[in-house]
Chain A
């Protein structure tokens, strides 16, 4: 099953490689990993999306927790949380027909066109991974030039929070 795990990590140079190294050394699957510092510069916030059997997921959580650089960790999957991913897509946009079709699609998906040339659009879209997939699928295969995805970030709903 797919799991989304959120971590607070010491903002140390080795921390990221300890975590990615754990996944490769133990053969765990890693779908995406995002990381950036938080408002407290000594901490980084990381979101990892992974998949595995219940036993493997339990091990992943325990092994992550065991790393000395990991300050706090929560597997969001069981709880109530929001997940978002951001994507840039560069597409060919030539001729009125194609340009208006892309604009129409982007409206439906609430995507924003953030860069325009005579022949291309660059589109920004935020949403669940499924939504991003659906947007790409709705575009004509030959029109996609480049796709950049951030990987998922997650946050708990309501008053609960993953903080120190």
Chain B
């Protein structure tokens, strides 16, 4: 088959099984867009901003496990994509981003719409390529998909000069089924002796903790994790990125950990004597100050990326390997009718955890006439039966969603954990809906975040992706306001959003349905209505209590057992103390 560079790109995407391509045209990719015309195998989604393309592809990848693919033009197209690429990089999401480039002969001449895309993206990609030779195009694309999806996944940029895609230059094309790279060998199996040592240490624990993260979801190891946790009977906490790998409604799950994790999870982290980290990277939002992190624990750390091990927290037993393989092997070691677990110690440990749970650290106060943001998320949970895909933006609403929507399945909770990118939620929801058109998809957002990629409402209409936007509208950049309340004596510097648009009218202007609720009494019906409108994108503008805060909170410099707790929990603790109980 003789094909031009542009035709090779499209044919390759088909051969690679890519169904959706999120993109935006421009001069440097015109030849490629011409090849996209009149073909049906790869559906192109015309976003309204290249950031939207990368987030949509990212949401698609997080929900499906398949790589997300984007096509953008040179110069501003490439720079607009950078935020989304960095977002995917921080959360290890497989993306392949094709950027157009000025013709080879013009590179370096400050040509119209020329930027050094490879240079600009270098620090936020797993790898990138500049295609210099048409004969290497197919192979380079294959390498890009291979690198993006294997090992610790991540985004890969392929920068393609316009001349490489010229329609009149045709070369033979064969789909490269596999590719070899001598410098890249991502497949690592856990070391058998280390795994044996880890199991022995786990079985000797008196106060064990299992801490799992996004790596479990990446490696599709949810079932293996469930088996492992249930066999041991130990408490498990999950990171913001790991939610759903182990069911959120299972009694062995004691809540998320870290800055806004549950009281019981953070206390248990602080007091545990053996900690096993599974596909988690001891991010600073998890550890707080590292000097006081898990002071009594011996640490086992399973990760596919050796550089994640002993980076911030020293691992006593490091296990480098794919989580799925390692857990499968460890489950075999645990596959005995009777395990030598110190049962009385474990029971005492669980009792302690239960007493912490009794303090109800997530419980919030209700104020008459005001919708609490937590209540809105609880309502969302009820109305969707806990079975929706939930994307989110960044801020208080994100934490409320993570806290109040327990996920029982992996890949249902989709948020920008590492980079914390406002604007992620809506395009990500669009990407998810394209992958799962029959599922409920909701974006929990705030009036600040939603305005960062609001233009994608237009894309939602064009491609019929009826997502539900749950806007927790507190008229504040709430998370920033919370920090200003706690640490800057309520000096609310530039966090009040005056002159907000009328979101109901805005949704209508984009051809969607807008519903506003400001009375707690109407919340349930409004939520029901939004989801009953199956084939409509609905913007649910929920006017919430402006002063609500996210609790508990580990503020900077504090240890896990020094959380700021809610006024309600303070009361509960005071009552417990009065009864002579330890808190």
Flag the segment in B55-63, B176-184, B524-532 that touches A. B176-184
A contacts, CB < 8 Å to B: 9-10, 13-14, 17-18, 21, 25, 55, 58-59, 62-63, 65-66, 68-71, 164
Taking a contact as CB atoms closer than 8 A, the residue among B118, B183, B311 that contacts A69 in the complex is B183
Cα–Cα distance between A55 and B181 once the two chains are bound (Å): 29
* Cα–Cα, bound, A62→B184 (Å): 13
A14 x B128 contact (CB < 8 A):
yes
What interface size band does chain B fall in?
Answer: 10 to 19
Contact of B500 with A by CB under 8 A:
no
A18 to B311, CA, bound (A): 20
Question: Is there an interface contact between A58 and B183, defined as CB atoms closer than 8 Å?
Answer: no
Contacts of A25 in B (CB 8 A): 123
| B118 and chain A: residue at smallest CB distance | A14
Known A62-B307, A65-B306, A68-B183; 4 more pairs at CB < 8 Å: A17-B122, A58-B310, A66-B306, A164-B182
Cβ–Cβ contact A10 & B183, under 8 A: yes
Contacts of A14 in B (CB 8 A): 118, 122, 128, 130
Q: Could you tell me if A68 and B182 are in contact, using CB atoms closer than 8 angstroms?
A: no
Contact A66 B305 (CB under 8 A): yes
B387: min CB distance to chain A, Å: 38
- Docked-complex contact A63 and B310, CB < 8 angstroms: no
* Docked complex Cα distance between A14 and B116 (Å): 12
Asked if B311 and A59 sit within 8 Å, CB to CB, the answer is: yes
Q: In the assembly, what is the distance between CA of A116 and CA of B281, in Å?
A: 60
Q: Mark B112-152, 1 if CB is under 8 A from A, else 0.
A: 00000011001100111010000000000000000100000
Find out whether the CB atom of B182 lies under 8 angstroms from the CB atom of A66.
Answer: no
Q: How long is the Cα–Cα vector from A65 to B123 in the complex, in angstroms?
A: 16
A48 CB to nearest chain B CB (Å): 17
Given A14-B130, A63-B307, A65-B306: A71 touches B122 (CB 8 Å cut-off): no
Report the Cα distance A122→B302, complex, angstroms: 57
Q: Which residue of A lies closest to B127 (CB)?
A: A68
Is A18 a contact partner of B122 (Cβ separation < 8 A)? yes
Residues of B within 8 A of A63 (CB): 307
Please report the C-alpha to C-alpha distance between residue A21 and residue B125 in the assembled complex, in whole angstroms.
12
A70 with B119: CB separation less than 8 A: no
Q: Is the CB of B123 within 8 A of A21?
A: yes
Q: Which residues of B contact A21 (CB under 8 A)?
A: 122-123
State which residues 144-169 of B face A: CB under 8 Å: 147
Residue numbers in B under 8 Å from A70 (CB-CB) = 183
Q: Which residues of B contact A66 (CB under 8 A)?
A: 305-307
Tell me the smallest distance from the CB of A18 to a CB of chain B, in Å: 6
Closest to B320 in A: A62
Return the contact of B182 from the options A13, A17, A55, A71 (Cβ within 8 A): A71
Q: Are B307 and A68 in contact (CB under 8 A)?
A: no
Which single residue of chain B is at the shortest CB-CB distance from A25?
Answer: B123
Q: For the complex formed, measure the closest distance between the CB of B410 and the CB atoms of chain A, giving whole angstroms.
A: 25
How many Å lie between the Cα of A3 and that of B182 in the bound state? 26
Q: Which of chain A's residues have a CB closer than 8 A to the CB of B183?
A: 9-10, 68-71
Which residues of A have CB within 8 Å of B127? 68
Closest to B305 in A: A66
Indicate whether A59 sits within 8 Å of B128 (C-beta atoms), given known contacts A68-B181, A70-B183, A71-B183: no
Jot down 13 A-B pairs with beta carbons below 8 A, ordered by A: A14-B130, A17-B119, A18-B122, A21-B122, A21-B123, A25-B123, A55-B310, A62-B306, A65-B306, A65-B307, A66-B305, A68-B126, A71-B183
Contacts of A55 in B (CB 8 A): 310
Of all chain B residues, the one with the shortest Cβ separation from A60 is B307
In the docked arrangement, what's the CA distance between A68 and B118, Å?
14
Give the one of B127, B182, B183, B184 with max A CB within 10 A.
Answer: B183
How far apart are the CA atoms of A18 and B124 in the complex, in Å? 11
* Minimum CB distance partner of B151 in chain A: A66
Q: Which residue of B lies closest to A54 (CB)?
A: B310
CA A96 to CA B128, docked complex, whole Å: 60
Complex CA–CA separation, A66 to B305 (angstroms): 8
A62 nearest CB neighbor, chain B only: B307
A59 CA / B306 CA spacing, docked (Å)? 9
Instruction: Scan B452-492; emit 1 where CB is below 8 A from any A CB, else 0.
Output: 00000000000000000000000000000000000000000
A42 — nearest CB in chain B belongs to which residue? Answer: B182
User: In the assembly, what is the distance between CA of A59 and CA of B126, in Å?
Assistant: 17
Quote the shortest CB–CB distance from B319 to chain A (angstroms). 15
Give, as a whole number of angstroms, the nearest-CB distance from B215 to chain A. 15
CA distance A152 to B118 in the complex (A): 29
Closest CB in chain B relative to A60 CB, distance in Å: 10
B112 to chain A, nearest CB (A): 23
Residue of A18, A66, A164 with highest tally of chain B CB at under 10 A:
A66
CA distance A13 to B310 in the complex (A): 32
CA distance in complex: A68, B147 (Å) = 9
Report whether A59 and B307 are in contact in the complex, using a CB–CB cutoff of 8 Å: yes
Question: How far does the Cβ of B158 sit from chain A's closest Cβ, in whole Å?
Answer: 13
Q: Which residues of A contact B182 (CB under 8 A)?
A: 71, 164
C-alpha spacing A71/B181, complex, angstroms? 9
Output the nearest chain B residue to A68 by Cβ-Cβ distance.
B127
Chain B residues contacting A58 (CB-CB under 8 Å) are 310
